[in-house]
Amino acid sequence: MFLPIVFILNYFCKKEYSNILLLIASLIFYAWGEPYLVLLMMFSVIINWAIGKAIDRYEGNTKKMYLVIGIVCDLTILGYYKYAGFFISTINKIVHREWLPVPNIVLPIGISFFTFQAISYIVDVYRGDTECSPKIVNVALYISFFPQLIAGPIVKYREINKQIEERNITWWKVSSGFKRFIYGLAKKVLISNVLGMCVDTIYSYDITVIDIRAAWIGALAYTFQIYYDFSGYSDMAIGLGKMFGFDILENFNYPYLSKSISEFWRRWHISLGSWFREYVYIPLGGNKKGKVRTYVNLVIVFFLTGLWHGADFSFILWGLYHGFFSIVERMGFKKVLNKSKIISTLYCFLVVNFGWVLFRANDTLTGIRYITRMVMPWRHMDIGIEQGFYLDRKTIFVGICAVIGMGLLKIIVPKKIADKWKDSIIEAIYCILLLILCLASIASDTYNPFIYFQF
């Protein structure tokens, strides 16, 4: 009932009350899953709005001091809730005893996303890239807007501040947004969930019984599961934004068609890559201070990218793994890749695929042992699990659809046919059928995990 009620109320209420309505709806949305931690998010809103006002008011060192205070406050909140247990347990392992008690802290949903948005707000105000908002409601809505609160995209205030102040809701925009929402929901429910069940089944087995067939099927299935899960959520967020008059920037651009890891990160989770580039990589010097400094900056960025995804060494290793290939490409390997589009695309896909194994495995050692089963099958020929336990015809069909939908369809279908399809009656009927299938699937199945909720 939440979406239709909020949509109808917002459509008929006066423009000057729309922000207040959407803010209340967003707080209710968050509080439904996090009854007490919604106060933490509101505390973050108040702190960052006040810091923004102070930055706008003062100059020189005082202005910089308030920026530092704001960033420290945001990172302290994020660090305590997301990383305190990880760092304390790491210290205990180093000293080989329970030197400090490991706290049992509940991770607030979406804390990494709304914290990064809060930091971008005060940094942009400091730089003069956006004006400080005189209304706390505007900042609160920017940080808590429910379509993209839980799992992004990460929106910069300067990209949306004018839309918060003034926006128009047209039926064309509503219909366009609703279609985008349905496509995203279908990605999640009809593709990602099906592949996810296959992945979870394979990864639930002890690593010692996984053979090359199961290892490759599990790895490939997860590669497409996480793409359709996260891009599906981003599509839904963008679609919902349009339904309420907002234009949220794209977060994915067919990343599995990339021809290098550097290109992959320009196509995958675009908002996160843009955030790190603008607020970490460039301030560190980017590529303007020599090759060695550039490589160091890349290592820092990819280390933080891995750490952002989760408080675990597996995520850190995954980030550094991508950083390694980005550096290798900058050192000259990119020239080799440019000689063949097919080989470079295959190279990038395989590198990303192996990386997702490290990302998905329960721990780093298991991930490495899993990869050895993919690349050294002769060492594990006498083991295996029955294929019927994890793979059926439905999963195979969905897997084929996933491969076609990762960008191949866009390449194959002529632009004239694609233009005729867009906004046609046939597309509308197709979307209705997709929606019915999604609702039927959700109603009949309790398996519906969102991978990026944990971040």
**pLDDT recorded at residue 108:** 87
Mean pLDDT of 426-445: 91
**pLDDT recorded at residue 410:** 84
Is 322 one of the catalytic residues? no
**pLDDT recorded at residue 383:** 67
- Say if residue 454's pLDDT is above 70: no
Burial (Cβ within 10 Å: 0-12, 13-18, ≥19) of residue 303: middle
Give the closest residue to 12 by CA, choosing from 3, 2, 21: 21
Task: Quickly state the pLDDT bin for 381 (edges 50, 70, 90).
Answer: low
Active-site position among 269, 309, 322, 380: 309
Task: Quickly state the pLDDT bin for 301 (edges 50, 70, 90).
Answer: very high
**Chain length of the chain:** 455
Judged by average pLDDT, the poorest of 91-100, 349-358, 373-382 is 373-382
Residue type, 330: R
What phi and psi, each to the nearest 5 degrees, are found at residue 445? Answer: -135, 135
**What pTM was estimated for this model as a whole?**
0.91
> HEC states along the chain?
CHHHHHHHHHHHCCHHHHHHHHHHHHHHHHHHHCCCCHHHHHHHHHHHHHHHHHHHHCCHHHHHHHHHHHHHHHHHHHHHHHHHHHHHHHHHHHHCCCCCCCCCCCCCCCHHHHHHHHHHHHHHHHHCCCCCCCCHHHHHHHHHCHHHHCCCCCCCHHHHHHHHHCCCCCHHHHHHHHHHHHHHHHHHHHHHHHHHHHHHHHHHCCHHHCCHHHHHHHHHHHHHHHHHHHHHHHHHHHHHHHHCCCCCCCCCCCHHHCCCHHHHHHHCCHHHHHHHHHHHHCCCCCCCCCHHHHHHHHHHHHHHHHHHHCCCHHHHHHHHHHHHHHHHHHHHHHHHHCCCHHHHHHHHHHHHHHHHHHHHCCCHHHHHHHHHHHHCHHHHCCCCCCHHHCCCHHHHHHHHHHHHHHHHHHHHCCHHHHHHHCCCHHHHHHHHHHHHHHHHHHHHCCCCCCHHHHC
Query: Percentage of the chain with pLDDT > 70?
Result: 96
**pLDDT recorded at residue 382:** 60
Task: Quickly state the pLDDT bin for 180 (edges 50, 70, 90).
Answer: very high
**pLDDT recorded at residue 202:** 92
When computed from its CA atoms, the radius of gyration of the chain, rounded to whole angstroms, is 23
- Say if residue 374's pLDDT is above 70: yes
Number of CB atoms found within 10 A of residue 49's CB = 24
Mean pLDDT of 391-400: 92
**pLDDT recorded at residue 321:** 96
Mean pLDDT of 113-140: 93
Number of CB atoms found within 10 A of residue 101's CB = 8
- Say if residue 378's pLDDT is above 80: no
- Say if residue 114's pLDDT is above 80: yes
**pLDDT recorded at residue 89:** 86
Mean pLDDT of 138-163: 90
Burial (Cβ within 10 Å: 0-12, 13-18, ≥19) of residue 304: middle
Q: Please state, rounded to an integer, the average pLDDT across all residues of the chain.
A: 90
Task: Quickly state the pLDDT bin for 66 (edges 50, 70, 90).
Answer: very high
- For the stretch 243-278, pLDDT in tens is 999 999 999 999 999 999 999 999 999 999 999 999
Torsion of CA 309, 264, 301, 55, to 10 degrees: -90
265 Cβ neighbours under 8 A, 6+ residues apart = 273, 322, 326
- Say if residue 42's pLDDT is above 90: yes
**pLDDT recorded at residue 348:** 96
- For the stretch 330-364, pLDDT in tens is 999 989 998 999 999 999 999 999 999 999 998 88
Torsion of CA 446, 218, 301, 148, to 10 degrees: -20
> From the centroid of its chain, how far is CA 50?
28
Judged by average pLDDT, the poorest of 44-53, 87-96, 361-370 is 87-96
Mean pLDDT of 127-156: 91
Give the closest residue to 218 by CA, choosing from 244, 195, 237: 195
**pLDDT recorded at residue 438:** 93
- For the stretch 416-433, pLDDT in tens is 888 888 888 999 999 999
How far apart are alpha carbons 318 and 284 in whole angstroms?
22
Asked if residue 390 lies in contact with residue 217, where contact means CB atoms within 8 angstroms, the answer is: yes
Task: Quickly state the pLDDT bin for 220 (edges 50, 70, 90).
Answer: very high
Number of CB atoms found within 10 A of residue 68's CB = 11
